[in-house]
Amino acid sequence: MSFRVCRTCGGADIDVDQARGSAVCTGCGSVLEDNIIVSEVQFVEGSGGVSSAVGQFVSADGPVKAPLLGSGFHTSVGKESRAQTLQSGKRQIQQLGSQLQLNQHCLDTAFNFFKMVVSKHLTRGRKTEHVIAACLYLVCRTEGTPHMLLDLSDLLQVNVYILGKTFLLLARELCINAPAIDPCLYIPRFAHMLEFGVKTHEVSMTALRLVQRMKRDWMHTGRRPSGLCGAALLVAARMHKFRRTVKDVISVVKVCQTTLRKRLTEFEDTPTSQLTIDEFMRVDLEQECDPPSFIAAQNKAKMQQLEQELARKLDEVEGEISCYKDEIETELEKSRPKLRGIYAAYTKEIDPEDVEVLSSTSEPEEREVEDAELQAATQHLTQDFLCQVIQEEEEEGRANKTGDGEQEVGPEKEGVGPQRQVAPLAVILGKLPSSLDLQQTFQTFSKSETCHKPDDEDSESGELDLEGIDDQEIEKYILNDNEVQVKTELWMKQNAEYLKEQQEKEERIRKEKEQGTYKEKKKKKSKRKEQIEALTAGEAIEKMLEKKKISSKINYDVLRDLNSRGTGSGGGSSPSRASSDPPDPNNTNTTTRKRLNRRRRKKTSEANQDLVTNASIMGKRFRRLISSTSKKKKTAPQVETSISMTTKPTETAAEPSPEPEPDVSSTLSAAPPPVEEEEEEEEVEEECVSALKLVGDYGCEAEEEDVF
Amino acid sequence: MDSSNDEALDIIVTNVVATFRTRCHLNLRTIALEGTNVIYKPEVGKVLMKLRKPMITASIWSSGKIICTGATSEDEAKLGARRLARCLQKLGFKVRFSAFKVVNVLAVCSMPFAVHLIDFTKNNRPIASYEPELHPAATYRIKNLKATIQVFSTGSLTVTGPNVQNVATAVEQVYPLLFECQKPLCK
């Protein structure tokens, strides 16, 4: 710090003491500065003699504005939402990461991922837990730590596939290409957990060799790496004379017994399994195997082939046998005495029938259908050609000629030709009433369209094309009456509970209707906010109340008079009843205009909305106020306005009007939000007598009570 | 389909899903009681109807929207849908057949070679993803075709897309990529 020279002696030698915060001239000894700002760490003794440093932690990635001084709120008061999210995310990452024993570098990387995710709005609609788990797993994969997704799901008690889905999505969105999992990564971890003691390293190495062999034998693609590791470790343990059972291994590796057994059998099938232990350690077989699932598929195919061959052979044998059979029978017949006369005819008839009956019982039906389809196909082919011809005709000529042509073709095509370009058009035209105009329009219609005719026209006309549909077959799908009865009974029995519930519900509704307390519960409809178009707030309320008839105990005429008289009063704000008189809108306009002028802060739109919604509440208010249960005041301010209103009309109107009316008008005007009251109060203050001034805010309540 | 190959690849379409509308309100209870092969689920609010001729299953809602699954080709799906509409017509509803659309097509295909999934994924990084812990196949998504191909290590593929043409194109597109990472079979 460069100081100027000393004031008294002019010496430039000034001693600055940081601890005391003072600057002293060494020449004359005068103190130049007393309270220099010190940048030292200070310590404070806390309870129990613990000394702690004074100061606050300001995080590097915290909010930009300075943290609060004074009583430091350590929670996020005054921080923005994004910072809060990041902070809580960081906390969760630390928590979860420490459970997984990840180092700080990994956790920081995970937090960076999380920041990226948040900035891309990928956390929306997802549980933060899942997102954080996915970020952590992403880090594990990029760093190559031996953590499985299963571990994370164990910690969080969440389904692995859900986490996997989130993880895949994040990896894709963040364009992070996680390297594929290598089973070799997991071996040291599992080996450690299996407690091999001193020989852990050796067992791991053997297991690694096994896994690499498995890889080359195509056992590892498409399989969970943990299963392979388990199998390898089991074999390695046995090789080194450790007795690890399948159960031990599966508890560590987290796979099922069946899986492990399967891997072992697959390994058994490879030629490597035939080697002895020493050979295995030394020699590496070059031959590679096919993936086990492929081998399984091949075996299946082989089995099928074998079966087919067997079947064929059987057929051949059968054929031979039947030949012999025929020969024998013919011989027998020759030797039999022949029938003569009438009976000869009978013998010939029976045989062929039997044969036919035996062999083709189901064929006729199929044949029929097949024939129908064939017919349809042939007809389609011929008529497609015809259609084209007709189309040309249509293009050339118009209504007269083609109308006839279409009519001719139409009936032919009905229900036969499949949907091609013009066929459906003709069909539809054939079915339609034969007004030429319609046909004309359809012609033009068909010309304007292109190949999408069939579908469009189907959708336009909605007609169901019946081609290729066998009605008889469809009849089978529908039950006849008896069957319907039986089914009805069965269904009723099955769904008895559901039906009961429905009945009870209906009964309840009926009862309520009778009682008159039936409220139609419209589940999905929200409060109906009618879109009332009005220029001002007052008008809006007027219109609203026109629609809503709130009470029969109100003399609307008097109200209207009130409104007409009450200029600048809150009565103006009170919407007139039923049919609003001409002067009233003017009044309301003027009053509201005045109000608008006076309005300082609040927006008119807000007020309008509030007016409308509050007007709906007014109905309830009315009854209460009228029935003199005024003590139940929902909001004091509204009550205030009621009072201010009572004062105004009584004075301006100068009527000893029946109490309900001013109350009514006052309650009407009570609708507006507090802001208006302020202005009303102002109005009151300006125009009316100093009742309010004298009494003050709470005094208004007392006045109201007097009024009632 | 067989761009760089001598033999032809068989793409077998196994499932076609289609939707259509009947443009009229349907009474599910009537359908349930008067039709054969129907399953009524009042909790969900739909009726499952199974047809034999084109082997399809249809989910029928009371609004008149119907989803047809199980057909083996697009035409079959349309035929089945029309049959179904005819059946409903006979039950007495004023059915009109409109807005028929094939929504999804599922096909399987088999390569004559095995595929090394890890290499395949490495070569096609963002488009392909392989997560052995979750699913044994590598997923390859073609965005412009809106098709998804699942590649198994044995060389069989499962392709899903909006129509049969897209599926065929997808297989054609992915074939050369698979060819690179192939592993010739021993036997």
Strands (E), A448-506: none
Of B82, B155, B185, the CB nearest to A465: B82
The DSSP string of A667-702 is HHHHSS-HHHHHHHHHHHHHHS-THHHHH-HHHHHH
Of A20-24, A91-95, A353-357, A453-457, the one with minimum mean pLDDT is A453-457
Whether A180 sits inside 8 A of B85 (CB atoms) is: no
Question: For residue A2, what pLDDT is reported?
Answer: 56
* Residue bearing the bigger pLDDT, A703 or B21: B21
Average pLDDT for A522-540: 63
φ/ψ of B150, rounded to 5, equals -110, 120
Question: For residue B60, what pLDDT is reported?
Answer: 92
Nearest CA in chain B to A221: B153
Average pLDDT for A453-461: 43
Q: Which CATH superfamily is domain B16-103 in?
A: TATA-Binding Protein (3.30.310.10)
Q: Give B85 to chain A, closest Cα distance, Å.
A: 8
pLDDT at A477 > cutoff 50: yes
A495 touches chain B (CB under 8 A): yes
Q: Please name the residues in contact with B130: beta carbons below 8 A apart, sequence gap of 6 or more.
A: A180, B117, B118, B120, B121, B137, B138, B139
B65 touches chain A (CB under 8 A): no
For A11, half-sphere exposure in the C-beta direction (CA atoms, 13 angstrom radius) is 14
Question: For residue A307, what pLDDT is reported?
Answer: 93
Beta carbon pairs, A and B, within 8 Å: 132
> What is the residue extent of each domain of chain B?
16-103, 111-180
Average pLDDT for A124-145: 90
Cα A552 to Cα A539, A614, A630, B71, distances in angstroms:
22, 20, 19, 67
The pTM for the full model equals 0.51
Report d(CA A170, CA A139) in Å as an integer: 12
Cα A269 to Cα A263, A290, B186, distances in angstroms:
10, 11, 15
What pLDDT digit, counting tens, does each position of A343-376 carry? 666 655 544 444 444 444 444 444 554 555 566 6
Strand partners, B61: B46
A290 touches chain B (CB under 8 A): yes
Find the length of chain A. 708
Report d(CA A690, CA A700) in Å as an integer: 12
Domains B16-103 and B111-180 share a fold: yes
Average pLDDT for B79-107: 89
* Residue bearing the bigger pLDDT, A567 or A49: A49
What pLDDT digit, counting tens, does each position of A612-626 carry? 555 555 555 555 544
Average pLDDT for A259-271: 86
Average pLDDT for A586-600: 46
**CB atoms inside a 10 Å sphere around CB B122:** 15
Q: In chain A, which residues have their Cβ closer than 8 Å to the Cβ of B133?
A: 148-150, 160, 164, 181, 224-226
Q: In chain B, which residues have their Cβ closer than 8 Å to the Cβ of A455?
A: 100
Take residue A630 and report the two structure tokens written for it.
């005024």
* Residue bearing the bigger pLDDT, A144 or A524: A144
Long-range contacts of B6-9 (CB under 8 A, 24+ apart): B7/B112, B9/B109, B9/B110, B9/B111, B9/B171, B9/B175
Q: Which A residues, 104 through 163, put their C-beta within 8 Å of a C-beta on chain B?
A: 148-150, 160-161
φ/ψ of B60, rounded to 5, equals -115, 125
Q: In chain A, which residues have their Cβ closer than 8 Å to the Cβ of B148?
A: none
A493 touches chain B (CB under 8 A): no
- ipTM entry: 0.77
A288 touches chain B (CB under 8 A): yes
**CB atoms inside a 10 Å sphere around CB A315:** 10
Whether B186 sits inside 8 A of A291 (CB atoms) is: no
Q: What is the CATH number of domain B111-180?
A: 3.30.310.10
